[in-house]
Structure 1
Amino acid sequence: MISVCIATYNGEKYILEQLNSILPQLCYDDEVIISDDLSTDATLAIIESINDHRIKIYINEQNYGYSKNFENALNKVKGEVIFIADQDDVWYPNKVQRMLKALENAEMAISDATGVDENLKPLYPSHFEIHQTKQGFWVNFLKTRYIGACMAFKKELLQKALPLPSNFRLCAYDYWLAIIAEYYFSVNLVNEPLLKYRRHNNNASSGGTSSHNSLFKKIEIRIYAMRELLKRKNNVSEI
């Protein structure tokens, strides 16, 4: 069973296109977990209009921000394989098939992505190439280029990852999943773009671009992340 986690917030402009690219790749018993951060537009109405039994909607009691919104979705999953999806991207038709293949000998798979603008006009052909994405714990601990929307992983990874570190300002959800996977598990890179990664003015994340944090802030982030990481050595969540 596959669980696709989508954190939504005022995504009416793109959410239908994204769901239409995901749902045809899923089986009858798979699920799409929507965690909504109190959208004030038509996001939820659009999702409900699809009328697909695989879509399960959970609405936050307050506005959490994108990392805790994703954590809420991750806490609801029932599938053995979990995909992360942003509300504004578009999956290529072979994404699920290729990622499942990559997970046959790893706990996390991360695909390449094609960068596109808000109208899906190509900006660059390969995220991996432009950002020199590489495997390995230390390279990704110091400067990860992994994108959450490109991740799929086995549920056992959540035994170490959840609950997420509480200070999301210092440790975003996708950075945390990346270093948990690299430190405690194994990661496969899929050197093929499997989604159109939409970049526009309202993106919640930087998408792997250079950080504007000060040196002090960068050190603070790594110290916090390492402390949280080492806490998980003997800590296994019940998922």
Structure 2
Amino acid sequence: MSISVCIATYNGGAFIKDQIYSILLQLSQNDEIIISDDGSRDSTLNILFSFNDSRIRIYKNDGKHGVVSNFENAIKHATGDYIFLCDQDDVWMPGKVKRVMEAFDNYDFVVHNAEMVDSNLISQGIDFFTLRKTRYGYWQNLWKMRYLGCTMAFKSDTLKFILPFPKNILWHDMWAAAILHLKFRGILIDESLMWYRRHGNNASSSGEKSGWSWSFRIRYRWIIFYNSIFRIIKAK
């Protein structure tokens, strides 16, 4: 069994080194970190190459630019039996991989909690599940996404349902959560297994803009609902 950690990078030089270190310490030689880079112009790629580790595999995102396409490109290149989504700017706590892999004995996907920290990894005194009132379920996360993509992991046999991403989605994690809930069995682990940095440029759907109109939000939920139901039916 092998693990693929999928990271979408773009100008992540400020934090990427800490993240990669925290991941490599928990991987075996059979595992991999799949990097899809969206045209970084800072030190991101130089830092990644400096690790000189064969487990780090870097791909250029030649498709549509943006976090959704970038993550899709990373996931497409994954060869592992288990897919871990990962942001470029967080830090995994020791034991994260072990704890998540234990849950895979009985479940197809896993979502775990995270400790909220600032850009300097100083705790903000709250965890993500408490902040977002996280609950398990399709409908609970369709109306208001209560998961972080970077806290999600799933078995690779789910990918035939998750990929390709619909062209009109805004958040990769909201889409993946919808598919996983419709078709597979998952679990919430109410343990903080990573430090989640909040610095204004986070890529996960927890940053949904509050200024968007209710009509837009309703239409977008309909898009996710329609596409997820259609995908499950079509992929059978």
Structure 1 residue 5 corresponds to structure 2 residue 2: no
Q: Give the TM-score normalised by structure 1.
A: 0.94
Letter aligned with residue 165 of structure 2? L
2:87 counterpart residue number: 86
- In 2: Cα distance, 1:67 partner to 1:184 partner: 21
2:112 corresponds to? 111
Pair 1:21-2:22 in alignment = yes
Task: Kindly report the root-mean-square deviation, in angstroms, between the aligned alpha carbons of the 2 structures.
Answer: 1.6
1:35 equivalent in structure 2: 36
Q: Does 1:162 align with 2:177?
A: no
**CA-to-partner distance for each residue in 1:54-108, whole Å, 9 max, x for gaps?**
0000012366100110000010110010101100000001100000111211111
Counterpart contact for 2:148–2:204, Cα < 8 Å: no
Contact 2:8 2:36 in 1 (8 A): yes
Alpha-carbon distance in 2 for matches of 1:129, 1:154 = 26
Deviation at 1:175, TM superposition (A): 0.2
Q: What's the CA shift string for 1:201-222, capped at 9, x where partnerless?
A: 3223453677432111111111
Amino acid at match of 1:92: M
Distance 1:207 1:91 in 2: 18
Tell me the secondary structure at the aligned position of residue 116 of structure 2. Answer: strand
Asked if 1:45 corresponds to 2:36, the answer is no
What residue is the counterpart of 1:185 in the other structure?
Answer: 184
Aligned partners of 1:63, 1:156: CA distance in 2, in Å? 25
* Contact 1:6 1:84 survives alignment (8 Å): yes
Does residue 193 of structure 2 align to residue 194 of structure 1?
yes
SS of residue matched to 1:125: strand
Task: Work out whether residues 37 and 63 of structure 1, in 8 Å CA contact, stay in contact via their aligned partners in 2.
Answer: no
Q: Who is 2:232 aligned against?
A: 233
Q: Is the 8 A contact 1:146 1:208 kept in 2?
A: no
Q: What amino acid is aligned across from residue 57 of structure 2 in structure 1?
A: K
Provide the residue aligned with 1:176 in structure 2: 175
Q: Helix, strand or coil for the counterpart of 2:233?
A: coil
Is the Cα–Cα contact under 8 Å of residues 148 and 205 in structure 2 kept in the other structure? no
Quick check: 2:145–2:205 contact (8 Å CA) kept in 1?
Answer: no
* 1: CA distance, partners of 2:205 / 2:167: 20
Counterpart in 2 of 1:71? 72
Unaligned residue ranges in structure 2 (runs of 5+): none
Cα distance, 1:232 vs. partner?
A: 1.3
State the partner residue of 2:55: 54
Question: Does residue 136 of structure 1 match 2:151?
Answer: no
Match of 2:202 in 1: 203
Kept in 2: contact 1:131–1:208 (CA 8 A):
no
CA contact (8 A) 1:80 1:154 kept: yes
1:125 Cα deviation from its structure 2 partner:
3.2
Q: Which amino acid aligns with 1:182?
A: H
Name the CA distance, whole Å, in 2 between partners of 1:87 and 1:198: 10
Aligned residues: 235
Give yes or no for contact 2:22–2:92 (8 Å, CA) kept in 1: yes
- Contact 1:111 1:194 (C-alpha < 8 Å) held by counterparts: yes
Fraction of identical pairs, as percent: 44
Q: Which runs of 5+ in 1 are unaligned?
A: none
